[in-house]
Amino acid sequence: MALLHAGCVQAAYDEARALPVTSSSSTAQESTAGWVPGGTAGGPVETVTGAGSTTEVASSSSATTDELATAPAVLAVVFSPEPITAAGMIAVEVTAEHAAGVAMQLDDAAPIELSPAPMGKFVGEISVETGLANGMHAATFVPRSDDSVGEPMTGHYTIALPSPGSEALWDAPPDFGKGQIAAIEVLDEAEVIAFGTLQVNGAPRCFLHRRDLHGQYSDDDFALVDADTNCAAIDLVIGEDASIWMLMAVIENGETRWRLMRTTWGAAPVVARTGLAGEVALALAYGGGEKVVACGTGPSPGMSRDARIWGLGESQAFDYAPNGKANEFAETVRDCKYTDRLVMVGEANGFHDEEVFQLPARDRMFVLETELETKDGAWHVAELGPGTNTQSRATALVIDAVGRYVIGVSTCMDLCQPAGELRIYEPGGKLVELTPLPADVMPPREIAWSPAGYMVMASVRRVGDDYTEFLVQAFYPGEFDPAWSYDKATAAALYQASALAITSGMVIAGGRDGDGYPAIAYLYP
C-alpha cells in the first residue's frame, strides 16, 4: 500500500496508502528480481548488488528467431538507494532494447510511464512517504515498441524507514518562558516556524520561533512579535514570497481586538488589519499572492452574530437563514481553507428542529462554501446525531488529496460532555465518512493531510481528572483505528497538542508540556 509516482505522476491517495520517512543507517541489501513468464525476452534475472543500489539484470535468451530478436525487452533495472531508509525518492533506471517506452507498475497502483533517456534508458521515481510501507515491494516493468508489447520483468525494492509515529525529537525549552504554540508552518521545505504565546513578566506576548528540519535553532531564531502589546497567538500562514502572516488577539485601551500582521523573518512586523469591537477572528486561510482572509464571527443586527471573513480590503458576512428569516441563528467560523473556493466550518447556534420541543438553543456544525467573486454562500448544516447527540461543532479543517473536506468535530447532548469525531465531506456538502474517537480522546485541535495518504490529528488524551497526554494520531479514510499514534507525558500533568505541520519525512506537532512550556515534537510518519 503506497504513495507512488514517477516524475509528476501521482496516484490518488486511496491507491496510495503509505511510503515512508527518515531514518538512521543505510546498508545495501541484496534484492531479487522475479521470473519473466515464458523464459524468453527478459527471462531469468541475475541480481547485482552495489553500495546503496540494486541492479537487476535479465539473463540472455537462447531464442534465435527474428521475432524474438526484435521484440522489446527489459535488460536491467536499477533501484537507488536500496534499501531506502529516509523519506524521499527511489530513483529507477531501466535499460531496454527495441523499446519505444516502458511502463512501471507498483503494487496495486495504476501503471506509470517512465521517461525516455539516452542510451536505451528509461527513468522514473518511486515516492516513499511513510514507515507504514516498510518491507520489500515489487515493481513490474513492461516494455513496448510501436507495434508490440514485450514480456514483463519484475524487480524488488526495500523500504526500511523508522517506525511510523516514533519520536525524532521532543523539546519543551524553558529558554523563553512559559506559554504554548498555537500554529506551525514550514517555510520553503527548510524551516519550521512556530507561532505562540508566552508570559513575559506576567503579561502575554506573541512570539515566533524558527527551527531547522532537525529541530535545531540559535539565539537568532526567536522573536517577540510586539514586545509592548498584550497579545495571544491564534493562527499562522506562510505566503508564496516567504511572507509570514500572523493572526492574534491584542488588548489595547482595555479592548480585545483581532489583528492581522505580516512580516518576513528578521523584518519588523507590519499591521495589515485590526478588527472592530465585538469581532472575533479564529483562523486564517491563504489562497496565493495577497489573498489572505481571517475567518470568525461578528455582530449582526439585533442580538445575533454572523459568520464573517475579513480580507485586506472589504469584509463579508454570511447569515444562515433556512426559513428565510434573517439573523435567526448565530454563526461562528472556527476554521477555513482555500481550494477553488473558500471553505469554512464552524457552528450555527439556534432552534434547528421546529418539530421537536427544544430548549435551550443548540449548536450544529456547518460547512459553508463560497465563491468570493459572487459573494454567495452554500450552507450545509448537520442534523441530529449520530446516536443521541443533539449538538455538534466543527473544530478544524483540512483539504485532502482529492479535494474533500476533512473536519474535526466536537459532539455532545444538551448537557454537553464533548466527544470527538473525524468527518469527511465531499464538495457540495455530502457527508461520506464519520470516524468516532475514543471516549478518552478530546475533539481534534488541529488536522493536517499527509502525502502518505492519511489525515493527522493533534489533540489531548485524558488520563485522569487532572492529567492529560500530548496526543498525535494518523487515520486512513474509512478506518476507525489509527494507523499510528504518539502520546507524550513525562509526568502527571496537563499536556496538550494544538498545532500541526507536515513536510516530507516528518510530522511536526506543537502545543504545551506538563510544566507549561511551549512544546514541539518531530515524528516519523
Q: What is the pLDDT of residues 262-277, one digit of tens each?
A: 999 999 999 999 999 9
The answer to whether 429 and 367 are in contact (CB under 8 A) is: yes
Strand arrangement, sheet containing 53-58: 45-50, 53-58, 73-80, 88-97, 121-128, 115-117
Please report, for residues 96, 110, 120, 175, 525, the alpha-carbon distance to residue 153 in angstroms, rounded to integers and kept in the order given. Answer: 11, 16, 16, 57, 31
Poorest-pLDDT segment among 103-117, 312-326, 434-448: 312-326
pLDDT tier at 258 (50, 70, 90 boundaries)?
very high
Provide the pLDDT for residue 504.
85
> Could you tell me which residue, 13 or 58, shows the higher pLDDT?
58
User: Would you place residue 51 in the very low, low, confident or very high pLDDT band (cuts 50, 70, 90)?
Assistant: very low
Whether the Cβ atoms of residue 92 and residue 114 lie closer than 8 Å to each other: yes
With 90 as the cut, is the pLDDT of residue 310 above it?
A: yes
Question: What percent of the chain is predicted at pLDDT more than 70?
Answer: 86
112-126, 282-296, 367-381, 501-515: least confidently modelled range: 367-381
Grid cell digits, residue 464? 485522569
More confident residue, 396 or 11: 396
The closest alpha carbon to 61, from 84, 45, 49, belongs to 45
CATH numbers and ranges of domains, the chain: 13-159 (2.60.40)
**pLDDT in the model for residue 464:** 84
Q: Which long-range contacts (CB under 8 A, 24 or more apart) does 311-316 make?
A: 312/272, 312/273, 316/372, 316/375
Give me the mean pLDDT over the 199-216 stretch: 96
Q: How confident is the model at residue 388, as a pLDDT?
A: 85
Give residue 323's pLDDT.
83
The residue-averaged pLDDT of 3-9 equals 34
The per-residue pLDDT for 364 is 96
Q: What is the mean pLDDT of residues 37-48?
A: 36
Tell which wins on pLDDT, 416 or 234: 234
pLDDT number for residue 314 = 83
Q: For 408-422, write each residue's pLDDT tens digit.
A: 999 999 889 999 999
Looking at residues 470-490, what average pLDDT do you find?
A: 97
Q: pLDDT at position 65, please?
A: 53
Buried b (16+ CB within 10 A) or exposed e, 472-482: bbbbbbeeeeb
Give the contacts of 373 (CB within 8 A, at least 6 positions apart). none
- pLDDT over 80 at 38, yes or no: no
Mean pLDDT of 78-99: 97
Tell me what pLDDT residue 353 has: 76
pLDDT at residue 40 tops 50: no
> What band does 59 get if pLDDT is binned at 50, 70 and 90?
low
- Which residues make Cβ contacts (< 8 Å) with residue 473, sequence separation at least 6? 441, 456, 457, 459, 482, 484, 485, 486
pLDDT, tens digit, 9 for 90 and up, residues 335-356:
999 999 999 999 999 998 765 5
Contact residues for 201 (Cβ-Cβ < 8 A; gap 6+): none
pLDDT in tens, 384-408: 888 889 999 999 999 999 999 999 9
Q: What is the pLDDT of residues 149-198, one digit of tens each?
A: 999 999 999 999 999 999 999 999 998 999 999 999 999 999 999 999 99
3-state DSSP assignment of residue 325: coil
pLDDT value for 18: 34
N-term to C-term CA, the chain: 14
pLDDT at 68: 60
Beta-carbon count within 10 A of 298 CB: 22
**Alpha-carbon span 397 to 408, nearest angstrom:** 6
Predicted local distance difference test score (pLDDT) of residue 31:
34
**Per-residue confidence at 494, pLDDT binned at 50, 70, 90?**
very high
pTM of the model: 0.86
Would you state the cell numbers that stand for residue 283, as one nine-digit string?
A: 483562523
10-24, 64-78, 112-126, 285-299: the lowest-pLDDT one: 10-24
